[in-house]
Amino acid sequence: MGPAPRILELFYDVLSPYSWLGFEVTRGSRAGSGLQGQCTVRHRLPGSRNSWRCPRVLCRYQHLWNIKLQLQPALISGIMKDSGNQPPAMVPRKGQYMFKEIPLLKQFFQVPINIPKNFFGESVKKGSVNAMRFLTAVSMEQPEMLEKVSRELWMRVWSRDEDITESQNILAAAEKAGMSTAQAQHFLEKIPTEPVKNKLRETTEAACKYGAFGLPTTVAHVDGKTYMLFGSDRMELLAYLLGEKWMGPVPPTLNARL
Amino acid sequence: MGPAPRILELFYDVLSPYSWLGFEVTRGSRAGSGLQGQCTVRHRLPGSRNSWRCPRVLCRYQHLWNIKLQLQPALISGIMKDSGNQPPAMVPRKGQYMFKEIPLLKQFFQVPINIPKNFFGESVKKGSVNAMRFLTAVSMEQPEMLEKVSRELWMRVWSRDEDITESQNILAAAEKAGMSTAQAQHFLEKIPTEPVKNKLRETTEAACKYGAFGLPTTVAHVDGKTYMLFGSDRMELLAYLLGEKWMGPVPPTLNARL
């Protein structure tokens, strides 16, 4: 028996594109499930001759490192408010940079991310509170479904530019993730309940207590110490902290422990 | 003969700690010169049993990739003003995060960076205009000295918590980098001259035209296209853009082309 796995907490919101990148790198999807099901087309970077196909088996670091990943659905608007931070697009050049960089990150991370047409004007204003409460309800009763439902919500807002605020759209994502209509309806009814609202508030506050000012926020518990890392660009530093090997955002599947 | 090297422009300011990390990764120092001369002690992360010694030969990516690196001394205060951006510490939690993360990055990047006692209260207020004008003058007349003098200025403010605004301190850094007193004095006299002031202004404006909102800003000219990348955490993405291999911030020297 090897040493006990280190606990990693990944705080995320499906409204945050960088949360998706961090989620896929740490969590990834197993053979025969999840992302590759939705992503069989060849992608092409504008102006580039090269295209790529989402790998059939994404075996990312949850299978490669000695970690136990805890997905923590949180509310990005709550974290921004509590920390006094503002979305990057409040500085116009940061917003422009983000929109130029995401197509590169799409290729680099092999995540089928596309920029919504009016993200800051529409998606951010509509928010993600119902979607994140839905995920919170799932995490409380059926945590094994949390990964897939989260991914399907990202696929809606950050890949196909579809709504995630209306009940029927949250339902559609849950069903696409493999839930029955009855199950999905059950979780939808939990959205306005106090236990779910409180749990999402508590998770968001927990992120803030760790010092979060945005998402994704990763909290690593290593040798009795706690390290908080911000952003999808800190995964290599995370590997260093864990004493694990970093092989880029799409590690070779040959080395997987599967 | 292989393909012509791709041009990389690295815009930096010695007041910016992340600029130093980006600088060392792309630029590094050659055997027998520079960083390792100042850094022979063993470093220890607070609370950790492990210590590390700065490698005797830092052969970083300028020697490993097919690139031609152009160092571009710029003024961070000018870029922040022009873009409407603010230093991270304006959001207190971002400032706290930065101060917690830098000791980790010190180990991870193997750069002897230490947080000044009163950086935001004192160093930022005093600014870096004279130091950056000095480097601009060096870049105009003796560009082969730019790397070493830049590093010695970082060693002052971001390793030993020493002033870089007074003439005698800029002189001391230049001499430590290997300049004669007469040479250093010559560049010091250039600081208030119009050509030097204009050149620093032009370089800062050039960064802004590329979309910069902070430093380091790296501009890669690849296959007739221009990519702007922000931050010391984009070096792996830079490698991907260049089609070069990323081996972490301290690549193994065995693979060096030297």
* Tokens standing for residue A238: 């995370």
SS3 A96: helix
Whether B240 shows a pLDDT value over 90: the answer reads: yes
Q: Each residue of B4-40: pLDDT tens digit?
A: 889 999 999 999 999 999 999 988 754 333 444 333 3
Q: How far apart are CA A90 and CA A95, in angstroms?
A: 7
Determine the length of chain A. 258
> Which of A42-46, B186-190, B232-236 holds the top average pLDDT?
B186-190
The pLDDT of residue B29 is 58
A138 touches chain B (CB under 8 A): no
Q: Do A213 and B105 touch (CB under 8 A)?
A: no
**Nearest one of B20, B66, B18 to B222, comparing CA atoms:** B66
pLDDT of residue A77: 96
CB contact under 8 A, A85 and B93: yes
Contacts of B212 in chain A (CB under 8 A): 93
**What tens digit of pLDDT does each residue of A76-115 get?**
999 999 999 988 878 999 999 999 999 999 999 999 999 9
pLDDT on residue A58: 37
Smallest CA–CA distance from A234 into chain B, residue: B233
The predicted model gives B65-85 an average pLDDT of 95
pLDDT in tens, A7-57: 999 999 999 999 999 999 988 754 333 444 333 334 344 444 444 443 433
Whether the per-residue pLDDT at B157 is higher than 80: the answer is: yes
Residue B115, chain A, CB below 8 Å: the answer is no
State whether residue B252 sits within 8 Å of chain A by CB: no
Which residue in B47, B212, B236 is closest to A248 by CB distance? B236
Alpha carbon distance A81, A78 (integer Å): 5
Q: What is the mean pLDDT of residues B55-76?
A: 79
Q: pTM of the full predicted structure? A: 0.88
Q: For residue B253, what pLDDT band results from cuts at 50, 70 and 90? A: low
The per-residue pLDDT for A29 is 58
Asked if the model's pLDDT at residue B192 lies above 90, the reply is yes
A99 touches chain B (CB under 8 A): no
A96–B contact, CB cutoff 8 A: yes
More confident: A63 or A171: A171
Judged against a pLDDT cut of 60, whether residue B53 lies above it is answered with: no
**Residues of B whose CB is below 8 A from A94:** 83, 85, 213
Interface touch B97/A228, C-beta < 8 Å: yes
Note whether B105 contacts A: Cβ–Cβ < 8 A. yes
Angstrom distance (rounded) from CA B239 to CA B237: 5
**Greater pLDDT, B50 or A223:** A223
Quickly list H helices, A121-166. 124-126, 129-141, 146-158
**According to the per-residue pLDDT averaged within each range, which of A55-69, B53-67, B198-212 is highest?**
B198-212
| B interface test, pick of A97, A204, A229 with most B CB neighbours within 10 Å | A97
A-chain CB neighbours of B105 within 8 Å are 237
pLDDT of residue A89: 78
Residue A170 pLDDT greater than 90, yes or no: yes
Is A228 within 8 Å of B84 when comparing Cβ atoms?
A: no
Which chain B residue has its CA at the smallest distance from A217's CA? Answer: B97
Lowest-pLDDT choice from A169-178, B79-88, B134-143, B180-189: B79-88
Provide the 8-state DSSP code for B253. Answer: G
> Best mutation site among B45, B205, B237 for testing chain A: the one with the most A CBs within 10 Å?
B237
Q: In whole numbers, what is the pLDDT of chain B averaged over residues?
A: 87
Are residues B104 and A227, on separate chains, in Cβ contact within 8 Å? yes
Cβ pair B229:A91 closer than 8 A: no
pLDDT for the residue B47: 45
Nearest Cα to B54, choosing from B171, B155, B170, B179? B155
Cα B71 to Cα A196, A215, B9, B10, B139: the distances in Å are 53, 33, 6, 5, 8
Chain A residues with CB-CB distance to B47 below 8 A:
225
CA of B220, closest CA in chain A: separation in Å? 13
Distance (Å) from the alpha carbon of B212 to chain A's nearest alpha carbon: 7
Beta bridge partners of B208: none
Q: Return d(Cα A222, Cα A7) in angstroms, integer.
A: 8
Q: Report the residue from B97, B225, B248 with minimal CB separation from A230.
A: B97
Count CB atoms within 10 A of the CB of residue A209: 11
pLDDT grade, residue B129 (50/70/90)?
Answer: very high
- Under the banding of pLDDT at 50, 70 and 90, the label for residue A132 is very high
The rounded distance, in Å, linking the Cα atoms of A59 and A29 is 6
Q: Nearest residue on chain A to B226, judged by CA atoms?
A: A100
| Nearest chain A residue (CA) to B235 | A233
Residues in chain B within 8 Å Cβ distance of A240: 104, 107-108
Where are any strands of DSSP class E within chain B? 6-12, 42-44, 51-53, 67-73, 217-222, 225-230
pLDDT mean over A168-196? 98
Provide the angle, in degrees to the nearest 10, between the axes of the packed helices B146-158 and B17-26: 140
Buried b (16+ CB within 10 A) or exposed e, B204-220: bbbbbebbbbbbbbbbb
On the question of pLDDT at B44 being above 50, the answer is no
Q: Which of B131, B124, B159 is nearest to B73 (CA)?
A: B131
Interface check for A97 against chain B (CB to CB < 8 A): the answer is: yes
Q: Does A47 touch chain B (CB under 8 A)?
A: yes
pLDDT of A255 > 60? The answer is: no
Distance from CA of B231 to the nearest CA of A (A): 10
Would you state the pLDDT for residue B50? Answer: 47
Q: Does the CB of B239 have a partner CB in chain A at under 8 Å?
A: no
Looking at per-residue pLDDT, the higher value among A52 and A214 belongs to A214
- Whole-number percent of chain A with pLDDT over 90: 74
Q: Which site among B25, B48, B50, B93 would you substitute to test the A interface, given the most A Cβ atoms closer than 10 Å to its Cβ?
A: B93
Which of the pair, A230 or B52, is modelled with greater confidence?
Answer: A230
